Amino acid sequence: MIIDPAFLGSLESNMRVLFDVKYKSLNEEAWWRTCTYESVGRSLKEIVYFSLEAAKLHRGFKGGFKDFDEIRYLNTFVEHEYTQSGLELTEAELSDLDGNGVQSATKWIGEIGQLTAHHPQQMLANAILGNPVTYDGLPYFSSIASGHFTYGVDITNGVYANDLTGAASGSYPGALPIGGATTLDAAAINLTKAIAYIKSLKTPTGYPRKLRVKALIVPPALYGRAVQLVMGAFLPGAAVSGGGTADNKPLAASWGIGQPLAADELSASFTGGSDDTYYLATEFTGEEGAFLYSNRQPFAVRYNSGMTDAELERADKLQWTCKGRNGLLPLHPYGLFRVKAT
């Protein structure tokens, strides 16, 4: 095998195509965008500013402006870390007659295409399972016992929870299982309770927060049950309640969730994961999301194309490197709710 510019050009042309195919195919299965707000980073450590809801309508019989709204800003920061990989093949490995060198290069680039496409989702899954501290100084997922501040920074306007677990208390519904021994009709009631609680939350100014549940994210073990709940036509009743079936289509349509999203990364196979915990992602007014994914430097592969015959003859090895620079930051807890079975 002669390693010349024509050979290298052909090899790397195939590698580019393979990278794009693997990257795009995995992106089609991604769920991370339902929970994140994406931005373009510009520095190593970037300060993120956002404001709390402050707009109010003031009633009175006299004209003119007597009351002015005060906007409160919060800030936090996101750090951009490098994520990288590389492959090095010697001239001997590339020129082997059995073609293992070429196969190694194409296999590596295919795997890198998948890993780079999956990287934001893996970062988000790690954060969800790790439960980081958010801007109010509390763990991202917090139950009503140590709830998040409605005002964002203090208890002035009360608290809310985005971790539904344990016993119910007042409007807080507690744990709401949808899998395991829970019957399908009971699971539908529990999901309705979770959505009702989310819709009951208010802004710091006392208005409804108008959260809309846009996605049901489940581990693979709950996916079949989630499909039955959200997309099934009928709900079979429990024997103790007389059995029979109920039309599920109006209820499922009222939820407005759409097809459930399977999150392999959140299953019990991974540290901190669970096969009976599910998540509800919400849509709300404003640009921010549940998490911020900041892309300082998109992933890119550095190829060797352009090397001359003389350069290739002198080179004892070829290198391919892939590098990106990005960061993830927990933002609004009301953007993602964790619902446990117990």
What is the C-alpha to C-alpha distance for residues 327 and 48, in angstroms, rounded to an integer? Answer: 12
Quote the pLDDT of residue 188. Answer: 94
Q: Decide the pairing of beta strands 336-339 and 73-79.
A: unpaired
Instruction: Give per-residue pLDDT as tens, 187-211.
Output: 999 999 999 999 999 988 888 999 9
The candidate with the shortest Cα–Cα distance to 268, out of 226, 220, 224, 223, is 220
Instruction: Give per-residue pLDDT as tens, 209-242.
Output: 999 999 999 999 999 999 999 988 777 765 445 5
In the chain, DSSP assigns E strands to: 36-40, 45-51, 73-79, 81-90, 148-149, 159-160, 163-164, 212-218, 234-236, 245-247, 261-262, 278-283, 291-302, 317-330, 336-339
What is the C-alpha to C-alpha distance for residues 28 and 16, in angstroms, rounded to an integer? Answer: 19
Q: Does residue 330 contact residue 130 with C-beta atoms inside 8 Å? A: no
What is the C-alpha to C-alpha distance for residues 163 and 155, in angstroms, rounded to an integer? Answer: 18
Q: Give the Cβ contact number of residue 228 at 10 Å.
A: 20
Helices (H) and strands (E) in the chain, counts: 7, 15
What is the pLDDT of the chain when averaged over all its residues? 88
At residue 57 the predicted structure's pLDDT band, cuts being 50, 70 and 90, is confident
Token reading at 54:
């402050």
Quote the pLDDT of residue 115. Answer: 95
